[in-house]
Structure 1
Amino acid sequence: MRRILRNRIIFIAYFIVSTGSIIWLVSTCGPGCTTEHVGGDSMADYYKHELERTRANVRQTEKKIRTITQTLNKQYAKAADAVNEILGIESPQIPTIYAITPTYTRPVQKAELVRLTQTFLHVSNFHWIVVEDSERKTQLVSRFLTNSGLPYTHLNVKTTDEYKLKENEASWRKPRGVDQRNIGVDWILENVPQAEEGVVYFADDDNTYSLQIFDEMRTTQKVSVWPVGLVGGLRFERPLLNDAGKVSSWYTVWEPNRPFAMDMAGFAVSLKLFRQQPHARFDITSRRGYVESSLLVQLGIRKEDLEPLAEKCSKVLVWHTRTEKPKWKQEDKLITLGKPSDPRIEV
C-alpha cells in the first residue's frame, strides 16, 4: 500500500509538471509566433517581451518542481530521490544513519539479516556496518552483503572466551555484541569525514524496525530515545516524561533505577557527540543490564539531555521480536540415516 501511494505521488508530480509545460508551450506558440503578425519595427520588442515571459514561466515551473520535491522529501525520501535524479535537482543533504549490527553464526542468522535488509533498503542515506563475532569473516555474510544492494562495511572481531556465552547458557547471563559494537564505532570515527553529519544506531539483528523510527532519529542532536516493544518481560518499555517533556524515569520492572534503563534498540547517538567524546565505548565488564548505561554515562549524557521521539515516547516503532530457535529433530534423524539435507543449499 505504501509503495502504491508513493507511486501515485510521483505520477501526480510528473502530471503537474508535464501539464504545466504543455500549457506554457501552447501559450507561447499562439498567433504571435509567426512574423507575419508582427511588424518589422516591433520585432525586437516582441522577442524581448517573449523572452521575459519565457523566463517567468520557467521560474514558475521551477517553483512548482521545488514544491513537489520538498513534499516528497518530507514524506517519501526514496521517491523524492528518484524525481530529483530525473529532473537533475540536487537533493537536500540529510544526516547519514550508521547502523551497527553485531551478528554471529547460527541457523537463523541469514533469515535475520534478510529481514533487516528488506527494511534498510527503504532508508535513504544509510550505511550498514555488520560486525561478525568470529575470528574471520564468513562466506555466508560476505556473499549476503555483496548482494544486499546496501552501502555496507563488513567487520569482524571475536568475543573473548571469558565473556562468550556457552551452549544452552541463558542469554542474559553475559552481555552480547559489546566488542562488535565498539569496533563499529571505531570504524565510524576513523573513516567518516569530519564534515559529515550522522547518527549512530545499534540495530541488533533480532529486532524489527518501523521505517518511521529512521526518519525521526535523523533529528538527533545528542541522544534520542523511544519505546521498545516486546522486551523486559513486558509489552513494552519506555522513557517516562515529566510535565516539561523531559525524561524523568523509565517504565520498566527490572532495576528501574539504572542510570539509563533502556534497551539497546531504544536510543540513537549523534556522530557529533561521539566525536566530542571519542573514547566513549560500551563496557563489557558492566553488570547485567548496565551495558547501555556504560556508554551513555561516558558520553556525558544526563536524563534531561535525552530527546524523546515517537510522539513523546508514546508510540512503539521498534520490537525486540527474536527468532525462535529451530528444532531440527527430523533433520537429525536423516543425518543418523546417512541422508542429510544438501549442505550446498545455504539456509
Structure 2
Amino acid sequence: MMENKFGTQWKLRFYALVVGLLIVSNMTTFMFTTRVLVAQHPNGLHHLTGSLNDDQNVTKVLEETTAIPDTKTIFVITPTHSCVTQKIDLNSMCHTLMSVQKVIWIIIEDSQKPTDLVTKLIQRCNVEIVHLAIPTSSDYRAEKGKPAHSKSRGVEQRNAGLNWLRENYSSHNCSGVFYFGDDDNKYDLRLFEDIHNTQIASVWKVAWVGGLKWEGPTCQNGRATSWHSVFETELREFPLDMAGFAVHLCQLMKHPEARIGVNIHGDRSKGGHLETDFLQHFANKSSVECRGSESETYVWHSKTSSPSLYGEKNGHSSKSVETR
C-alpha cells in the first residue's frame, strides 16, 4: 500500500514536470513568432504599419523551440499578382518557409495597396513577413493583344523589395543573404542551406527552365566550369534563371546602383537578361560561388496550372466559398 502511495506521488510529479515543460515550450515559441506587416504608404512604399505576435499554433515540441543559432538571416523576395492560383501558390510557399530558420519573407503585391486575400494568408503564416504593394507601371505592362510574358514581370516589385532592405539595413548591419523566390516555384529545403552559405554571390541549377530539364552551372571545387543553357548563352555572363542565385546583403549595400532591369552600364536590360545584368553588379564568372548538387536540382521553375472551370459558366458554385 505504501509503495502504491509513493508510486502515485512520483507519477504526479512527473506529470507536473511535463505540463511545466509544455508551458515553457509555448512561451518560447511565442517569442519566435513575431510577424511584421508592411503596407503601402501614401508617400512611399515602405511604411511600417505594425507588428503582430501570433499565439496560435504554438504547440511545437520543446526541441524545436531551442534558441536559434547565430546564423545569417535569409531574405526571400517574392513578387506576386492576382490570379486564380495566387492563394495556393503563396500558401505552398508559406509552408516551405515555415521549415527554414531565420528567414524573413518579403512579399510585394502588384497592386495599389495590400489586398485582403494576401493579408489574410499572411496572418495564418507562421513566418516573419514584410508585406509591400506597388502596381506595375506601363513600362512593364504587356501591350494589348500581346502575351503577358512579352514584357519582363515582377521588375518593380523585386526592386521594391531591394529598396526595403536598403532602407532597413546598412553596411554595418548586413548579416544576411537575399534571394528572389517566386511563389509558383517549388523548393527543396537543401536550397536554403546553399543560400545561407553564400559569402558574396552564389549560383546553382534550376529545373524546368529555358526549354531544358535544367539550366545553370556545372561546378568543380566551388567554381562554375561551364553553363548549361540554350538561350543566348554567349551573350549572357550568367545564363541562369531568377531562382538560380543569391547575394549577400552586404554586397547590396556596397552597390547602391544595383537593381533589377539595369545593367552595369546603367542601360535598361534586354528581355531575358534581367538575371545576368543584376548579378554582374556583384560578381563575374570566375568569382561567383558555385553551389548545389551535381546530380540533382533543389529548385523547380514550376507553374501551377489554372484549373478548368467549364462547369461554372452558369455560376454553379456558391461564391461564399473562397478558392482564390
Alpha-carbon offset, residue 329 of structure 1 = 1.7
Q: Return the offset for 1:205.
A: 0.9
RMSD: 2.3
Higher helix share goes to which structure?
1
Q: What amino acid sits opposite 1:280 in the alignment?
A: A
Question: Which of 83, 90, 93 does residue 116 from structure 1 map onto?
Answer: 93
Which residue of structure 2 lines up, in the alignment, with residue 320 of structure 1?
301
Q: 187, 209, 223: which one pairs with 1:246? A: 223
1:173 match? 150
Alignment of 1:183-202 (within 5 A): 183-192=160-169, 194-202=172-180
Aligned counterparts of 2:182 and 2:65: Cα–Cα separation in 1: 32
1:209 aligns with 2:187: yes
Larger radius of gyration: 1
Cα displacement (A) at 1:196: 4.3
Could you say what secondary structure the match of 1:206 adopts?
A: coil
Contact 1:84 1:91 in 2 (8 A): no
Q: Paired residue for 1:23?
A: none
Cα 1:196–1:222 shift into 2, 3 Å:
closer
Alignment of 1:77-116 (within 5 A): 82-83=62-63, 85=65, 90-116=67-93
Cα distance between partner residues in 2 of 1:251 and 1:259: 12
Q: TM-score, normalised by structure 2?
A: 0.74
| Pairing of 1:105-184 with structure 2 (within 5 A) | 105-165=82-142, 169-184=146-161
Q: Hey, which of these two has a bigger chunk of strand by percent?
A: 2
Percent of residue pairs identical: 35
Distance 2:68 2:140 in 1: 45
The one-letter code matched in structure 1 to 2:292 is A
Unaligned runs of 5+ in 2: 1-60, 263-267
Q: How many residue pairs align between the two structures?
A: 258
State the alpha-carbon separation in 1 of the partners of residues 142 and 123 from structure 2.
29
Q: Is the 8 A contact 1:98 1:128 kept in 2?
A: yes
- Partners of 1:158 and 1:295 lie apart in 2 by 21
Match of 1:270 among 245, 248, 252: 248
Residue 261 of structure 2 contacts residue 269 of structure 2 at CA under 8 Å; is this kept in 1? yes
Tell me which amino acid in the other structure corresponds to 1:105. S
In structure 1, the partner of 2:290 is 308
Stretches of structure 1 that go unaligned for 5 or more consecutive residues are 1-80
Distance across 2 between alignment mates of 1:150 and 1:244: 34
Structure 1 residue 84, shift from structure 2 partner: 7.9
Structure 1 contact 172–288 (Cα < 8 Å) conserved: no
* 1:293 and 2:276 aligned: yes
